[in-house]
């Protein structure tokens, strides 16, 4: 068991997400930065989808009531175990009574505490992930608060062999204040004129403070719509369409000076112009983007998107083999 003495700013239980329920109005949720999350599980010898704790900006304080094997990944936080510095991207052994303290991260947004055996909370609709808006999954459907006690499954056989291992530098992501985000164009982008499309692709966009696990908001230059009269039932704005299903990663223009990119806790549909979709690998980059950081959007084809997915899968498989072979 782990006692939550201080939950930090926003800590929830997440796994790889709740698949196959989007058509019912239930988004996938799950780890916002899946790359960091998967690596954390690999470091402690877990399957990649075991539930862990996702922390946002400030980590908090946790007391271990049993011996565990842990790893910290994602946005690097100043971290102490029993007041001694503890490193990210390493596998550590903690003992009963140990106290883990994590302060704010100077770069990035999301950090992960992965434990061998995984966090033990009930499955809801096939996942342990927290979806707070509907209060389902995770720990009582909510973020953690002081005094919560989180059950942890038994440490997996062989996990002790992982202690002391660290992630090679080439696998550690950078947490930059500028990102290039790959997007597949389409859906209802035809409702923006050619100049607007060029402006979208040739401009820098700035992350707004209102960004969260539902959607990231970006401010940028003014764009213009084609001024086609919205169809019956779509409202009066030129940015409106008849309601459509939104893919996770959808790039929506709600008005002429703001766009949003839907994240893991997104609404499943709506009536805004959808210019395209950010590829799944780059949603990790968005999740680690701090307010006022900037990005550009770059168009890719479906073949390029599939290639990017394959390259990351191959990279993680290589890492898994390295960890198994005691590099």
- 119-139 pLDDT, tens digit each: 999 999 999 999 999 999 999
For residues 138 and 127, what is the distance between their CA atoms, to the nearest angstrom?
8
For residues 82 and 101, what is the distance between their CA atoms, to the nearest angstrom?
8
pLDDT at 327: 55
pTM: 0.92
Contact call for residues 203 and 296 (beta carbons, < 8 A): yes
Neighbours of 59 (CB within 10 A): 26
Look at residue 104 and give its three-state secondary structure: strand
Q: Which residues contact 187 (CB under 8 A, 6 or more apart)?
A: 244, 250, 274, 275, 276, 277
Name the fold adopted by 178-307: Cyclophilin (2.40.100)
Residues of the chain with pLDDT under 50: 232, 234, 238-239
Between the CA of residue 101 and those of 6, 9, 23, 81, 194, what are the distances in Å? 9, 13, 40, 6, 52
Contact call for residues 172 and 162 (beta carbons, < 8 A): no
Q: Which residues contact 76 (CB under 8 A, 6 or more apart)?
A: 88, 105, 106, 107, 108, 111, 175
Residue 176's Cβ-count burial label (10 Å; 0-12, 13-18, 19+) is middle
Half-sphere exposure of 18 (CA within 13 A, CB side): 27
Q: pLDDT per residue over 46-80, tens digit each?
A: 999 999 999 999 999 999 999 999 999 999 999 99
Would you list the domain boundaries of the chain?
2-171, 178-307
Largest Cα span, the chain: 66
pLDDT at 272: 79
């Amino acid at each position: 068991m782990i006692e939550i003495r201080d939950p930090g700013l926003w800590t929830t239980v997440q796994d790889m997400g709740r698949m196959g329920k989007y058509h019912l109005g239930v988004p996938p949720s799950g780890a916002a930065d899946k790359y960091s999350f998967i690596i954390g599980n690999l470091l402690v010898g877990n399957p990649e989808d075991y539930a862990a704790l996702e922390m946002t900006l400030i980590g908090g304080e946790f007391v271990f009531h049993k011996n565990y094997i842990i790893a910290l990944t994602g946005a690097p936080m100043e971290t102490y175990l029993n007041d001694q510095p503890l490193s990210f991207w390493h596998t550590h052994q903690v003992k009963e009574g140990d106290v883990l303290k994590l302060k704010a991260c100077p770069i990035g947004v999301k950090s992960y505490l992965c434990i061998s055996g995984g966090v033990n909370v009930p499955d809801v609709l096939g996942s342990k992930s927290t979806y707070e808006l509907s209060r389902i999954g995770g720990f009582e459907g909510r973020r953690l608060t002081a005094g919560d006690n989180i059950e942890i499954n038994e440490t997996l056989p062989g996990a002790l062999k992982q202690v002391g291992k660290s992630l090679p530098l080439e696998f550690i992501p950078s947490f930059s204040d500028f990102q290039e985000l790959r997007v597949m164009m389409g859906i209802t982008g035809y409702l923006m004129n050619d100049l607007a499309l060029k402006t979208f692709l040739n401009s820098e966009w700035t992350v707004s403070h209102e960004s969260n696990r539902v959607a990231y908001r970006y401010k940028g230059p003014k764009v213009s719509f084609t001024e086609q009269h919205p169809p019956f039932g779509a409202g009066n704005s030129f940015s409106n369409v008849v309601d459509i299903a939104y893919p996770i990663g959808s790039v929506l223009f709600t008005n002429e000076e703001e766009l949003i990119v839907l994240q893991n806790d997104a609404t499943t549909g709506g009536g805004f112009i959808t210019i395209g979709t950010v590829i799944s690998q780059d949603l990790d980059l968005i999740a680690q983007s701090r307010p006022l950081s900037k990005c550009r959007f770059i168009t890719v084809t479906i073949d390029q998107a599939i290639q990017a997915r394959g390259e990351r899968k191959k990279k993680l498989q290589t890492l898994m083999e390295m960890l198994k072979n005691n590099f």
